[in-house]
Amino acid sequence: MRDQLEGSLGIARTVARCRPEVVSAYPISPQTHIVEALSDMVRTGELAPCEFMLVESEFAAMSAAIGASAVGARAYTATASQGLLYMAEALYNASGLGLPVVMTLANRAIGAPINIWNDHSDAMSQRDSGWIQLYAESNQAAIDLHVQAFALAEELSLPVMVCVDGFVLTHAVEPLDVPEQEDVDAFLPPYEPRQVLDPEDPVTIGAMVGPEAFTEVRYLAHAKQMQALDLVPEVASRFTQAFGRSSGGLLRRYRTEGAETVVVALGSVLGTIEDVVDGLRANGERVGALGITCFRPFPLEEVRAALAEARRVVVVERAFAVGIGGIVGQNVRLALDGLPPVVHDVVAGLGGRAVTRRSLESLVADVRAGRLEPGRLHFLDLDTRLVERELQRLQERRRSGPHAENILRDVGAVAARPY
């Protein structure tokens, strides 16, 4: 049903339609509205049978989901940022054990310094955890991806996280089409576990595996993610047939045909990027955009095919690998290995800094004019004055003080700005 809804509420309602049997939740901004809505639905009986567990930490949230899934229940949780890190051990455990837990990750920066706003550092920190990672470009995509996530997870026996930009999407109110219960039921059958704790047929799950077999078990984890490269588009296609709209899949191309310059990104910033592309195309500039929906497994062949004809690729990402450079950029470069396109790594939107149309237009202009050095990580909208002032401080005194506080003081706590 189409209605004007907050993203979090749309996601919660959709998750409820997927009939989770156990929802374990620990509150953290900006995921709170999702779990609050689910709690309401369980209390009113709208979502039943479902046990809503008010756990004492994110570590407990994922652990409870593991226990629930092992008993054969469809299990769900949601978190962000620090919460994701706190459950990191359990993330690896869930994927290593092959339990199809689905989780919403309301992307938020990781501290220190503490920051509650949107970027992708949380998801990126766990990109090697063995979880499938899907990124939503919009709230409608977020909704649709959750339905697909349960199907994917259960077919593969692998956990899936759906990344939804915190505040930017979770707290945005927009027109959303939440799938009807009957349609979700038809698409998503009840969970049939590959392994389950059943007194009638006892099994041991979680045994220690030594050098003689560990490699093989881990290889299977990689192989399953490779299978996902085929299954993700298949599930997306099934979804389109069932629900009548296109969503999910590995990538989304936007006006990349004949594009000289392609901007690559994940998540909600793609909306703004598409506006930029339309504006530039109207001026005759051959620019396109590529949205990566499935980041893990990384669709090397598909990215290669999508970008092979471009002259230059600008990867705009909301996280980076400290000490080396871009993360998505690195993966894209790998996909383009041996091919002509020049790849630029650009970091933007860290800790909730807005990625504006204006900045993106300047960026594309700079790239096209050759003003951006390809080999170096470029920070969009970096205030070099602030950085230089702090570096100067470090030179002057040993006890230079905390970076964050010094920079904030320079920025001015009560600066008159619109927001």
Partner 1 sequence: MFEVRVHGRGGQGVVTAAELLSVAAFQEGKYAQAFPTFGSERTGAPVTAFCRIADGPIRAREPIVEPDAVVVQDPTLLRQVDVFAGIGPDAYVLVNTARSFDELGLSQLAVRLRPDRLVAVPATELARTHLGRPLPNAALLGAFAALTGAVTLESVAGAIRRRFSGATGEGNVAAATAAFAAVEPDRSCAHA
Partner 2 sequence: MASRPPVKFFQVGSFAAGNRLLPEQERTVQSDRDRSNALTKGHRACQGCGEALGARYVLDAAMRATQGRLVAANATGCLEVFSTPYPESSWRLPWLHSLFGNAPAVAAGMAAALRAKGRTDVRVIGQGGDGGTLDIGFGCLSGMFERGDDVLYVCYDNEAYMNTGVQRSGATPPGARTATTKPVGDEPGAAFGQGKSAPLIAMAHEIPYVATATVAELHDLEAKVERAMSFRGARYLHVLVPCPLGWGARSADTIRIARLAKETGLFPVFEAEGGEVVAVSKLRHPVPVEEYLRLQRRFAHLFGDPPRTDVIERLQALADRNIRRFGLVEEVAA
Residues within the interface to partner 2 (CB under 8 A): 21-22, 24, 49-51, 53-57, 59-60, 63-73, 75, 89-90, 93, 97, 196-199, 202-210, 212-213
Only segment of 61-69, 75-83, 160-168, 184-192 that touches partner 1 (CB under 8 A): 160-168
Partner whose footprint covers residue 272, from partner 1, partner 2, none (CB < 5 to 8 Å by kind): partner 1
- Pick from 270, 404, 291: nearest CA to 349: 270
CB-nearer residue toward partner 2: 1 or 207: 207
Backbone φ and ψ for 224, nearest 5 degrees, come out as -65, -40
Query: DSSP assignment, residue 27?
Result: -
Q: Where are the alpha helices (DSSP H) in 71-119?
A: 81-86, 88-97
- Minimal distance, residue 332 CB to partner 1, in Å: 21
Residue 293 engages partner 1 in binding (rule: CB under 8 A) = no
Location of structure tokens 């759906």: 162
Cα–Cα distances in Å, from 100 out to 39, 233, 254, 359? 21, 18, 32, 40
* CA-to-CA dists, residue 333 to 98, 104, 267, 309, 348, angstroms: 30, 28, 19, 14, 18
Residues 6+ apart with CB under 8 A from 162: 102, 103, 104, 105, 134, 136, 142, 145, 146, 149
Asked if 314 touches partner 1 (CB under 8 A), the answer is: no
The smaller minimum CB distance to partner 2, of residues 41 and 169, is found at: 41
| Partner interacting with residue 43 (select from partner 1, partner 2, none; CB below 5-8 Å by kind) | none
Strand 342-347 versus strand 312-317 pairing type: parallel
User: 210 touches which of partner 1, partner 2, none (CB within 5 to 8 A by kind)?
Assistant: partner 2
What is the closest distance, in whole angstroms, from the C-beta atom of residue 414 to partner 2 in the complex? 39
Encoded one letter per residue, x for contact with partner 1 by CB under 8 A and - for no contact, window 101-140 reads ---------------x---------------------x--
Tokens standing for 121?
């550092």
For 29, the token pair is 């901004």
Binder of partner 1 out of 43, 245, 357, 409 (CB under 8 A) = 357
Q: Which residues contact 82 (CB under 8 A, 6 or more apart)?
A: 28, 58, 110, 111
418 lies in the site for partner 1, by CB under 8 A: yes
Total residues interacting with partner 1, rule: CB under 8 A = 31
Least separation in angstroms between residue 168's CB and partner 1 is: 6
Binder among 274, 302, 317, 345 for partner 1 (CB under 8 A): 274
**Residue closer to partner 2, measured from CB, 74 or 378:** 74
The answer to whether the CB of 277 falls within 8 A of the CB of 262 is no
**Residues 85, 134: Cα–Cα separation, whole Å:** 18
What is the footprint of partner 1 within residues 162-181 (CB under 8 A)? Answer: 165, 167-169, 171-175
CB of 214 to partner 1, least distance (A): 43
Which stretch, 3-11, 82-90, 297-305, 338-346, contacts partner 1 (CB under 8 A)? 3-11
Cα 300 from chain centroid (whole Å): 18
Q: Which residue, 198 or 405, has its beta carbon nearer to partner 2?
A: 198
Token couple for 157? 């026996």
- Closer by beta carbon to partner 1, 62 or else 162: 162
Output 132 or 176, the one with its CB closest to partner 1: 176
Minimum separation from the CB atom of position 235 to partner 1 (A): 24
Minimum distance of partner 1 from residue 35's CB (angstroms): 18
The answer to whether 14 touches 178, Cβ cutoff 8 Å, is yes
Q: Are 119 and 379 in contact (CB under 8 A)?
A: no
Pick one of 1, 207, 282, 416: the residue that binds partner 1 (CB under 8 A): 416
User: Which of the choices partner 2, partner 1, none does residue 405 contact, using the CB cut-off of 5 to 8 A by kind?
Assistant: none
The residue ranges of DSSP E strands in 26-121, in sequence order, are 51-54, 75-79, 102-107
Please, what is the minimum distance in Å from the beta carbon of residue 102 to partner 2? Answer: 14
Q: Please say which residue, 119 or 274, places its beta carbon nearer to partner 1.
A: 274
Rounded Cα–Cα distance for residues 180 and 346 (Å):
40
Q: Are strands 287-292 and 261-265 parallel, antiparallel or unpaired?
A: parallel
Residues that bind partner 1 (CB under 8 A): 3-4, 6, 29, 116, 138, 165, 167-169, 171-175, 268-269, 271-272, 274-275, 354-358, 414, 416-419
